[in-house]
Amino acid sequence: MKYKISQRAASLSPSLTLAIDSKAKQMKAEGQDVVGFGAGEPDFDTPQHIKDAAAKALADGFTKYTPASGIPELRQAIADKHKRENGLTYKPSQIIVSCGGKHSCYNVIMATCEPGDEVIIPAPYWLSYPEMVKLAGATPVILETTDKTEFKLAPERLRAAITPRTRLFILNSPNNPTGSVYTPDEIKALGDVCVEKGILIMSDEIYEHLLYDGAIHKSVASFSHAHCEHTIIVHGFAKGWSMTGWRLGWCAAPEPIAKAIDAIQSHSTSNPTSFAQKGAVAALTGPQDHLPKWLAEFSRRRGYAWKKLNSIPGISCVNAKGAFYLFPNIAGTGLKSTEFCARLLEAEKVAAVPGIAFGADDYLRVSYATNMANIEKGLDRIDKFVRSLAK
Ligand SMILES: *Cc1c(COP(=O)(O)O)cnc(C)c1O
């Protein structure tokens, strides 16, 4: 039987991160002592009161379909969160709860982009953005940034990349994979360009709460009414509440876009899991005292990893102010990222994600969402590996 694969699916790039990950898992299964720096999720458990709320909902029989865009109680709690933390006024009808931040990104792109449209994406980027843009039949326009600017895009470069076909600009701060955080002034400058040019912004703010060294997160939507009208915020419960497996995210959008996303969702996934949504209400309305503890631990690991990486000859690393990643530059080792990661896994049994997966071949993504003992062991091995290259 010869199967015809759609052009849409055939155009996707297979996930490099998954290839390294499956090799590492296989080695682990064989009993090898593999250290993983690949984690894209916090290593902390979901706070107990959130689990309790979902368990209670399940026990109470809250197990049926809900409105496709989420239960009113949760949409209200999300609107309240944006009011309280971001100074933004959304009606619950502008909030669409989805099956994860990733699902929200997909919905936003599907609702706003079509063939002929261009979508501006700064690199290093979260690897799913360009693939989602391709799925919509639109064209990703990648603007590279480097560690020299802390992986930040200057507003002049955004302006210069805008054409009559530009539909959307994707902004992700705090950033995956670099951990970089734009200052409020920098965010405003990018937002100003989009408002002036009439470009929509998809602002992925899922790492909003994971900030260090006094860094401040300011949503691009919050600078003026016009900024808000040009912005669709994507957010979720995965990172700030360690709820990756729950599959719950949301977007906050201008009313017509929210309506379009609601329509798409009602014909694809329908509602996110009913009882999980009750847990999410507890996440937003309950105590937030897990956060300072997590941040203190993340920051301790980050400090250690950053110092250690910079002590390795051929590697340099800017310190990141957000998320739970560092993005060291490995150009000085003479290897590009795919070969570096493949040989590192082979020789020293350390799994890191090659920067090329994020559009940046001279870098690695090192996640510190793993315990300190692992971080120490893994970085010692990277040190040994790099020194062996120099011989
Ligand atoms: C983790 C992540 C998301 C969303 O993850 P979900 O598990 O789908 O909620 C979105 N954007 C970025 C940049 C992420 O790293």
Confidence of residue 390 (pLDDT cuts 50, 70, 90): confident
Q: How far apart are CA 322 and CA 311, in angstroms?
A: 22
Distance 332 CA to ligand 1 centre (A): 31
What is the pLDDT at residue 335?
97
Does residue 354 register a pLDDT over 80? yes
Distance 238 CA to ligand 1 centre (A): 7
Mean pLDDT for 175-188 is: 98
Confidence of residue 21 (pLDDT cuts 50, 70, 90): confident
Which tens digit of pLDDT belongs to each residue from 210-225?
999 999 999 999 999 9
Contact of 95 with 249, CB cutoff 8 Å: no
What is the pLDDT at residue 364?
97
Mean pLDDT for 182-193 is: 98
Verify whether ligand 1 is closer than 6 Å to residue 238 (CB atom).
yes
What is the pLDDT at residue 391?
72
**Domain boundary pick from 265, 285, 305:** 285
Residue 125 is which amino acid?
A: Y
Q: Whose CA is nearest to atom 5 of ligand 1?
A: 101
For residue 343, give every residue at least 6 positions away whose Cβ sits within 8 Å of its Cβ, in sequence order, or none.
Answer: 335, 385
Token code pair at residue 153: 């895009």
Does residue 15 register a pLDDT over 90? no
Does residue 14 register a pLDDT over 90? no
Q: Whose CA is nearest to atom 15 of ligand 1?
A: 176
What is the pLDDT at residue 349?
96
Helices 101-112 + 128-135 axis angle, to 10: 40
Is residue 124 domain-shared with residue 31, that is, in the same domain? no
Tell me 210's DSSP state.
Answer: -
Secondary structure element (H or E) that encloses residue 252, with its range: strand 249-252
Domain encompassing residue 377: 7-46+290-389
| 280: alpha, beta or left? (left if phi > 0; alpha if psi -120 to 50) | alpha
Is residue 280 domain-shared with residue 134, that is, in the same domain? yes
Residue 335 is which amino acid?
A: L
| Best probe residue, ligand 1, of 15, 104, 239 (max atoms within 8 Å of C-beta) | 239
Which tens digit of pLDDT belongs to each residue from 238-261?
999 999 999 999 999 999 999 999
Does residue 17 register a pLDDT over 80? no
Distance 178 CA to ligand 1 centre (A): 14
Distance 8 CA to ligand 1 centre (A): 22
**Domain boundary pick from 227, 251, 285:** 285
Verify whether ligand 1 is closer than 6 Å to residue 271 (CB atom).
no
Mean pLDDT for 179-184 is: 98
Verify whether ligand 1 is closer than 6 Å to residue 176 (CB atom).
yes
Residue 137, domain CATH: 3.40.640.10
Residue 324, domain CATH: 3.90.1150.10
**How many domains, the chain?**
2
Identify whether 104 is part of a domain.
yes
How long a stretch of residues is the chain? 391
Verify whether ligand 1 is closer than 6 Å to residue 235 (CB atom).
no
Verify whether ligand 1 is closer than 6 Å to residue 102 (CB atom).
yes
What is the pLDDT at residue 305?
98
HEC readout, 257-316: HHHHHHHHHHCCCCCCCHHHHHHHHHHHHCCCCHHHHHHHHHHHHHHHHHHHHHCCCCCE
Q: Whose CA is nearest to atom 4 of ligand 1?
A: 101
Which tens digit of pLDDT belongs to each residue from 74-111?
999 999 999 999 999 999 999 999 999 999 999 999 99
Report the predicted TM-score, pTM, of the whole model to 2 decimal places: 0.97
Cα Rg of the chain (Å, integer): 21
